Amino acid sequence: MSLPADLTAKAGEVLELCRLHGVMLATAESCTGGLVAAALTAIPGSSSVVERGFVTYSNQAKSEMIGVPAALIEAHGAVSAEVARAMADGAILHSRADVSLSITGIAGPDGGTATKPVGTVHIAAAQRGALTLHRACLFQGDRDSVRRQAASAALDLLMERICAFRR
């Protein structure tokens, strides 16, 4: 599988940071459909760091696989800060990982609204026992471009979380 070189390079940086800090990671992805997990696991030796990845594309999967409350999704929508944080926290709770990231958004070309246009993405990075970081993004471009930008931004936020890691 051919992944963008910049995404693979950034995934390599994440793996090195995880090794340096002695942490395992998990992913919970919606609009990127496993793109981050694919970038991480494309690198030889990633199994020493990547604990698991969840592709929770549907709302039901978010609830069943990582415990995002259906009421939270109903109240805020799947594409929200609240759900992104719950996804990251759920990935921690449903794995043996020390840190996690989540991505939920609208990649397009349809599905956008006036308040949540195509390109709206929420990203979160969690650590057991620490504040879950969150970023709201609005990316431009077609579906593939939004997905690549979201994956790249998620890896950036994950690096920030890992660099602040404390046991």
* Each residue's pLDDT tens digit, 95-105: 999 999 999 99
Write phi, then psi, for 43 (nearest 5 degrees).
Answer: -95, 125
120-127 vs 50-55, strand pairing mode: unpaired
Q: Which helix (H) or strand (E) holds 125?
A: strand 120-127
pTM of the model: 0.97
Give the whole-angstrom CA distance, residue 72 versus residue 130: 21
For domain 5-163, the CATH architecture is: Alpha-Beta Complex (3.90)
Band (167; pLDDT cuts 50, 70, 90): low
Residue 107: per-residue pLDDT: 98
pLDDT of residue 1: 58
Across the chain, which distance is largest between two alpha carbons, in Å?
Answer: 44
d(CA 144, CA 24): 28
Torsion of CA 124, 34, 79, 151, to 10 degrees: 60
pLDDT at residue number 165: 75
DSSP assignment, residue 126? Answer: E
Res 2: pLDDT: 84
Read off the pLDDT of each residue in 84-89 and give the average, rounded to a whole number. Answer: 98
